[in-house]
Amino acid sequence: MRECLKLTAECPSCSLALFCVHHQAEMLVEQVRPQTVKKYRHILRHEALFLPNHKFQNLYVISHGVFKAYQIEADGKERIRGFYFPGEILGFEAIYTDSYRVTATALSEALVCEIPYEHFLESVQDKPGLQQRCLYLFSKQLNVGSYLAAATALQRLAAFLLDLSERLHSTEAGTQFIIPMSRQDIGNYLRLSGETISRLLSQMHKSKIIALKYKKIRILQAKRLQEMAAGC
Amino acid sequence: MRECLKLTAECPSCSLALFCVHHQAEMLVEQVRPQTVKKYRHILRHEALFLPNHKFQNLYVISHGVFKAYQIEADGKERIRGFYFPGEILGFEAIYTDSYRVTATALSEALVCEIPYEHFLESVQDKPGLQQRCLYLFSKQLNVGSYLAAATALQRLAAFLLDLSERLHSTEAGTQFIIPMSRQDIGNYLRLSGETISRLLSQMHKSKIIALKYKKIRILQAKRLQEMAAGC
DNA sequence: CGCTGGATTGAGGCCGATCAACTTCAGTGG
DNA sequence: CCACTGAAGTTGATCGGCCTCAATCCAGCG
């Protein structure tokens, strides 16, 4: 990881598409006006990519790192609306509202491709293939987090782990990966307390469904997890 | 209402755009290949517009009536994923999955414009204005139901009522409207029991925040509702 | 080494679910 | 018009899952 970021910083003219080979987003970066593609931004841990009520101007393709998008509620509490992984796009929601509604901060050192929405529109117009690709990505975003509606804590967490595994799959080997966010953040997103997440993870660990050591996790029985997510 | 449907049945060649003047969807219907626009479908109460695992082929612009989209979980229980109102579009989620993931049934007699996705793509390509409009609608859909993440039952219900009011606004006068779905369905969508919905509505009625008589509701203190939705 | 923030684990309390009884509504046919 | 009937809504009592608060543990890091 560290190496990747170094490479980027040292060699800005090299094909940065390397970082966007995940999912379908690389096409976007490649096809949206080459001269703007160079606009890569390096984001530090805890740094904000954009803030609420800021005018919507750019879409951001994440090439490295993980982001969380959250709002501060009236009671002052943080409410996490979603996590974003390499190859995914931040900012779609703001097209409608014309300003960002959330704060997007990096959970770790990150790298994003900044795509001005106007350039995006022009490119999409020119290239029919790109248009379909974008509709596809858009539609995909609509399907994200469908498991949030699940009834029990166990169902939601099981589905979340499978989701994490899938969305991190391209960067991490096999079924083992590093959970990039805190228990508290997972709980916040799933509408559970951090303690509940901790308890359930311990329980899954004891029943050999996952191997767990702090942030390092390995899914041992994906089928069982799927059953749990389905509510069996 | 009855009158509208009658008019349509009797006069299929007249400007059906009349039924789609809500929100931004009318443009879609008008601009997507006139010869396909005529494909209006009359849907009966409880009839399904599409079923899970059916191949994705059409988008549906709702011109009249209300739909609910739901899945049947492993435990056999129904899980409502969303409600769709006149002027809104059904099917966006299926672009990614290439098959519908939910059942969409009409809560009342309904009328929809069936738009083949292929024709949709062609039209969007031809007309840049339409493209932006669609991205806007798409983005809007991403923002729907953001209140589902709210912590308490009261917060979610308050937000739901405001949402209902807004999305039905074009068909119903003022702040009074008919709740088109059952208490059970509201509860299902908000992850609450029908009894809880009933109790909370009664409570709101007693505290003069709403006027309520079965399915007929009038919002008396929208500001209070907004405060409740925000968690104050 | 000690410090610090996150993670774990336990005890008690509350919100909302479930179960059940009753009421009201809407549709049907006499 | 009314009686009948099944579905939906209301209301009350009890129960359980998850939250809150708190103490302790642990890994990472200067």
Task: Give the pLDDT confidence of A50-89 residue by residue, as tens digits.
Answer: 999 999 999 999 989 999 999 999 888 999 999 999 989 9
Q: Which long-range contacts (CB under 8 A, 24 or more apart) does A68-72 make?
A: A68/A104, A68/A105, A68/A107, A68/A181, A68/A185, A68/A189, A69/A102, A69/A103, A69/A104, A70/A102, A70/A103, A70/A105, A70/A188, A71/A101, A71/A102, A71/A103, A72/A103
Which positions of strand D lie within 7 Å of protein CB atoms?
8-13, 17-22, 27-28
A8-50 pLDDT, tens digit per residue, is: 333 232 223 333 334 455 556 666 655 555 578 999 999 999 9
Instruction: Give me B68's structure tokens.
Output: 């609910």
Nearest to A189 by CA among A222, A153, A214: A153
User: What is the spatial distance, in angstroms and rounded to an integer, between the CA atom of A69 and the C1' atom of C1?
Assistant: 38
Spell out, as residue ranges, where chain B has pLDDT lower than 50.
1-23
Identify the burial level of B167 via C-beta atoms within 10 angstroms of its C-beta, where 0-12 means exposed, 13-18 middle and 19 or more buried: buried
| Cα–Cα distance for residue pair A52/A68, rounded to 1 Å | 13
User: What is the spatial distance, in angstroms and rounded to an integer, between the CA atom of A207 and the C1' atom of D20?
Assistant: 27
Provide the pLDDT for residue A13.
26
Provide the pLDDT for residue A31.
65
State which amino acid sits at residue A223: K
Reported confidence tier of residue A1, pLDDT bands at 50, 70, 90 = very low
Supply the angle between the helices B194-206 and B153-168 in degrees, to the nearest 10: 80
Interface of A with B in 123-182 (CB under 8 A): 124-125, 128, 131-132, 135-136, 138-143, 146, 148-149, 151
